[in-house]
Each structure stands twice: as C-alpha cells, then as structure tokens.
Amino acid sequence: MNEKPKVAVARGRRPSPAYAATRDVLIRCGMELLTEQGFSSTGLDAVLKRATVPKGSFYHYFANKDAFGAAVMDAYDDYFKQKLDRWLLNQERAPLDRLADFIADASRGMRKHRFTRGCLVGNLSQELGALPPDFRERLDAILVGWQERVARCLKEAQAAGAIPGTLNVEQLAEFFWIAWEGAVLRARLVQSDRPLVTFIEAFLSSLGVRAQASPRNEADH
C-alpha cells in the first residue's frame, strides 16, 4: 500500500528540486482532473496541458499512466488524511462536533468548485472494471485508513459519554464512509450541499444525538 510508484529516474541520481516540483505539479493536476472525471476519461495530454508541462515529457516523471494513477491516489490519500486530522483531532471541539465540522468544510470545498469535483476514491471505485487490478486494493486500503480516523473519533465520543459505549464504532465508521460517498455523489447530481447535510444529520441522529454544529445554516439556497 505504501509502496511508491516507480519513477523513470536513472539509478543513483537524486531527482533535482525542479524535477520534484514538476512531478508534484503533475500529481496535483491529476488530482484535480481525476476528482472531476475519473481515471479512464482523463488523457495524459490533458494532465500535461493543465500542468503546462511539454507534451511527451510525461515519461520522464512516471513509468506509465497506471503508475501516475497510483501516485495520484497516494497523494490524495495524504491530502485527505491531513484534512481529516485537522478536523477530527481538534481538541477544542467535542468529538461529534468534529465530524460535523469536517462535513461543513467538505461542503464549502464542494461549493467552491461548483460541485464539479467528487471524491477521487468514489470516482475510481465507480470505474473499477476499467482500472488496473491493483487499484482495487489500494482504494480499499485508503478507505480503511479513513475509517480508522472516524472510529477513533467515535471512541473519544464514547469515552466522553456522548454516545452509548455499546455502539459498534467500527461498523459505524464503515457506514460513515459508505454514506459519505453516496452523499458526495448526490451533491454533484443536485449541485447543492444539501445531501451532505442530510447525511451528517442522519448519521449523528443514528448515534442517538442531535447535530449540535449542524452545517444546515451554511447550505446553499
């Protein structure tokens, strides 16, 4: 899972800062395009064009499109985990409020991009049949990593007495990301963050609590 994709750098040579910077730009542009339109319909030309990197130089940076896809997935996972940690480890907020904070932030992010971007993991899961077989394992591992973070947050809520100690937090964390992918999909469909609000309100009320930091008042009108 943490294995880095092979890059086409000659053995024994350290990549120059300029090389690393260009590679990062390609990955960032890949993240943008893949969250918009998935892997299969994203041509390398479009990535290079967005990155303003000369055509034909792609293979200086990645062995092939699959290796590029793997690097984009890893980068997205890193980015997303940082985002999750920012909200879910925030000790100034009660554990369940942190979940609502994360969703409110995700709503702002989706609105900023006018609901054209989804979740990279959801997009790629939808087109699995057309993807390299090892993408499946990688996507599953990414979701498991996110689940662990939500489970930890729910355990903190249990420890604080905010939700019953009898709840199966592992199953609830799995459910959180199941419903998340559905909510992001629906938000793109209706071009509104209302599905994200519906999701977090229903999820929190499934724990026997009312959302205290409901992002409802931030929803689109």
Q: Which residues bind its own copies (CB under 8 A)?
A: 36-38, 40-41, 116, 118, 122-123, 125-130, 136, 139-140, 143, 171-172, 174-175, 177-183, 185-186, 188-191, 195, 198-199, 201-203, 205-206
Q: Which is nearer to its own copies, 64 or 125 (CB)?
A: 125
Provide, rounded to whole angstroms, the least separation between the CB of residue 36 and its own copies.
6
How many residues in the chain? 221
Give me the phi and psi of 30, to 5 degrees please. -60, -40
Q: How would you class 211 by CB atoms within 10 Å of its CB: exposed for 0-12, middle for 13-18, buried for 19 or more?
A: buried
State which residue, 19 or 175, has the beta carbon closest to its own copies.
175
State the nearest-atom distance from the C-beta of 92 to its own copies, in Å.
28
Minimum distance, C-beta of residue 208 to its own copies, in the bound complex (Å)? 8
**Nearest residue (CB) to its own copies, 21 versus 141:** 141
Q: Least distance to its own copies from the beta carbon of 41, Å?
A: 6
The least CB distance from residue 37 to its own copies, in Å, is 5
Residue 24 vs 127, nearer CB to its own copies: 127
Cβ distance to its own copies smaller for residue 24 or 181:
181
Q: Are 73 and 4 in contact (CB under 8 A)?
A: no
Handedness of CA 196, 201, 205, 209 (dihedral sign): positive
Q: Phi and psi of 104, rounded to 5°?
A: -60, -40
- In angstroms, give the least distance from the CB of 11 to its own copies: 36
Q: Please report the beta strands in the chain, taking only residues with DSSP state E, as ranges in sequence order.
A: none
Cβ closest to its own copies, residue 72 vs residue 131: 131
**Angstrom distance (rounded) from CA 26 to CA 10:** 19
Phi-psi region of 12 (alpha: psi -120 to 50; beta: other; left: phi over 0): left
Alpha carbon distance 32, 72 (integer Å): 10
What is the rounded CA–CA span in Å between residue 72 and residue 29? 9
